A and B are shown apart, each in its own frame.
Chain A
Amino acid sequence: MDLTIGKKIAGLRKEKGITQEELSELLDVSPQAVSKWENDLSCPDIMLLPKIANVFHVTVDELLSSSPKKETVMLPAEQRKSVDDLVFRILINSSDGDKVRVNLPLPLIKVGLEIGMRMPQVSKNESLKDINFEELFKIVEHGVRGKIIEIEGKDGDLVEVVVE
């Protein structure tokens, strides 16, 4: 089913776990405006799209795309972005309600690993200690995009690694 921009914003907002009021504060608009977008009664101003995309860590293209976002895709070589443009998004939702988002550009991780940094040193999160980022790079180089890791810890923490 095709998604309207309003439904897309509603989905992204729920995914981020914020209310319409909180989103309206982040965007400097009224809560009613957000409600109207989500119910397809109006559309956000075109000048606001980059700001909305930034809040949800997506591109304006993704925001405007009418097809639902696939969780994981394998892109053919001609459709792949340069590695310089790719970002590893690490999403940690802890069982006690804390949310941590770490956005690491791929080239920065590569340099970090080459000089001897390890992810738990960087993020202080033990859930990441067993993730082999060298192997993840190989997967990404083969064209895999989207959610590449999802770990649910025994204490209820949820860790996802998404490459976009």
Chain B
Amino acid sequence: MKIFISSPGEKTIRLSIPTRLIFNSLTAAISAGLLRKKVNADLPISGTDLRRFVKELHRIKKIHPDLIIVDIESANGEIVKIGL
């Protein structure tokens, strides 16, 4: 996963983090628990669901290796890009 943050007059930040470090079965289970505890106890998303989502994410990364998922450019020149 690649993250790019740029603000006028500030240092540009470029982060390259292995996707599997952020999105894996363990983090999926923890995230699902946190979502239910902190956001909404009735949220239908379980650990199994998130693991399925993570698995799909890894499969998509092989098909679209350089895909930019989010690209934000604010009116004051700040840029945030998140790529797979």
Q: A residues near B, CB below 8 A?
A: 17, 54, 57, 84-85, 87, 94, 96-105, 107-108, 111-112, 115-117
Within 8 A of A (CB), among B32-84: 43-46, 49-50, 52-53, 56-57, 59-60, 63-64, 66-75
- A102 to B67 CA separation, bound complex (whole angstroms): 10
The answer on a CB contact under 8 Å between B67 and A103 is: yes
- A164 to B75 CA separation, bound complex (whole angstroms): 27
- One of B49, B52, B53, B64 near A87 (C-beta < 8 A): B64
The answer on a CB contact under 8 Å between A101 and B70 is: yes
On chain B, the number of residues with a Cβ less than 8 Å from chain A's Cβ atoms is 24
The answer on a CB contact under 8 Å between A103 and B72 is: no
The answer on a CB contact under 8 Å between B63 and A84 is: yes
- One of A87, A98, A104, A116 near B45 (C-beta < 8 A): A116
22 contacts between A and B (CB under 8 A): A94-B75, A98-B72, A98-B73, A99-B72, A99-B74, A100-B70, A100-B71, A101-B72, A102-B69, A103-B69, A103-B70, A103-B71, A104-B69, A108-B56, A108-B60, A115-B45, A115-B50, A115-B53, A116-B43, A116-B45, A116-B49, A117-B45
Chief secondary structure at chain B's binding surface = mixed
The answer on a CB contact under 8 Å between B53 and A112 is: yes
Q: B residues near A, CB below 8 A?
A: 43-46, 49-50, 52-53, 56-57, 59-60, 63-64, 66-75
The answer on a CB contact under 8 Å between B56 and A107 is: yes
- A31 to B46 CA separation, bound complex (whole angstroms): 50
- One of A54, A97, A115, A117 near B75 (C-beta < 8 A): A97
> Which residues of B have CB within 8 Å of A96?
75
Query: Distance (Å) between the CB of A68 and the closest chain B CB?
Result: 24
Chief secondary structure at chain A's binding surface = mixed
The answer on a CB contact under 8 Å between A107 and B44 is: no
CB-CB nearest in chain A for B43: A116
- One of A57, A99, A111, A117 near B73 (C-beta < 8 A): A99
Q: Lowest 4 CB-CB distances: which A-B pairs, in order?
A: A97-B75, A115-B49, A116-B44, A101-B71
Query: Distance (Å) between the CB of B42 and the closest chain A CB?
Result: 10
The answer on a CB contact under 8 Å between A107 and B60 is: yes
